[in-house]
Amino acid sequence: MLKVDSLTRPPLGPVSFKLPAGAIGIVTGPSGSGKSLLARAIVDLDPNTGEVSWRGRARLKTPAPQWRRWIAYVPAETGWWADRIADHFPPDIDAARLNELLHAVNLPRDALSWPVSRASTGERQRLAFLRALIRDPEMMILDEPTSALDAETRKRVEDVILAERRAGRTFLIITHDPAQAARLGDIFWRMENGRLSPAPDASSLVEIPREGA
């Protein structure tokens, strides 16, 4: 179980919630309400206060790199540090499994040999997901994982997420798409002005457009 207690990183929080291991939690809410700040705070990427534990192991007693290997956060927009896609994957990779995953998310097998500049936004989004997934984290926080994808490819990525959950992986997914929330989610929250409140089900997550938005 992921246990978050009074997590605060202004303007976020305090936020408290529990996500059982093996479940898919969904967080929705208007842009700028603090969803990404919540994700960053959970993986300790910004200075924050509050207690977080994963499967009974306290975050503060865990070295941060180890913590982030347990809980992988894939931001909506991420960076690439080398010229080739392959250089972003570990060298001792399980090639068969990676090929399987590439196929599953509708990417060609030779995508790894591409220069980063050749990959489109949607391709990079899936490659960033795979680059984290292949390192086998126990839990993943995905920020808008399919925002740049067409309906068919989005379904493929969702199928991978569901298969991974069946295999025991835990997910916290930030999404603007109520239909996606309904397809994937077990537990639902809504973020508003830095506060997180539980939502009974996916249908209560329908976006209320903000004024001027």
Partner 1 sequence: MKAQASYIALSYWDVAASALFLALAAVLTLVLRLGLFRSLLLVALRMVAQLLAIGFVLKMIFQASSGLVTLAAALVMSGFAAREVINRQQRTLAGLWRYGVGPLAMLFTGAIALVYAMTLLLQPEPWYAPRYALPLFGMILGNSMNGVSLGLNAITRTIVRDRLAIEARLLLGMTRWRAFRPFAADALRTGMTPIMNAMAASGVISLPGMMTGQILAGVPPVEAVKYQLLIMFLIAGVVGLGTMVAVFATIARLTDHRHRLRPDRLREPD
How far apart are alpha carbons 88 and 116 in whole angstroms? 10
- Least distance from C-beta 45 to partner 1, angstroms? 5
Name which of 70 and 195 has its Cβ closer to partner 1.
70
CB 131 → partner 1: shortest distance, Å? 7
Sheet holding 195-199, edge to edge: 71-74, 139-143, 170-174, 24-28, 187-192, 195-199
- Residues of this chain that bind partner 1 (CB under 8 A): 43-47, 63-66, 68-69, 72-75, 77-82, 128, 131-132, 135
* Gap between the Cα atoms of 203 and 36, Å rounded: 22
Taking the complex as a whole, how short is the minimal distance between the CB of residue 72 and partner 1, in angstroms?
7
Is the dihedral angle over the CA atoms 5, 144, 135, 121 positive or is it negative?
negative
Least gap, CB of 47 to partner 1 (angstroms): 7
Nearer to partner 1, 56 or 65 (CB): 65
As a whole number of angstroms, the distance between CA 142 and CA 12 comes to 18
Nearer to partner 1, 68 or 126 (CB): 68
By beta-carbon proximity to partner 1, the closer residue of 48 and 146 is 48
Dist. CA 163–CA 159, nearest whole Å: 6
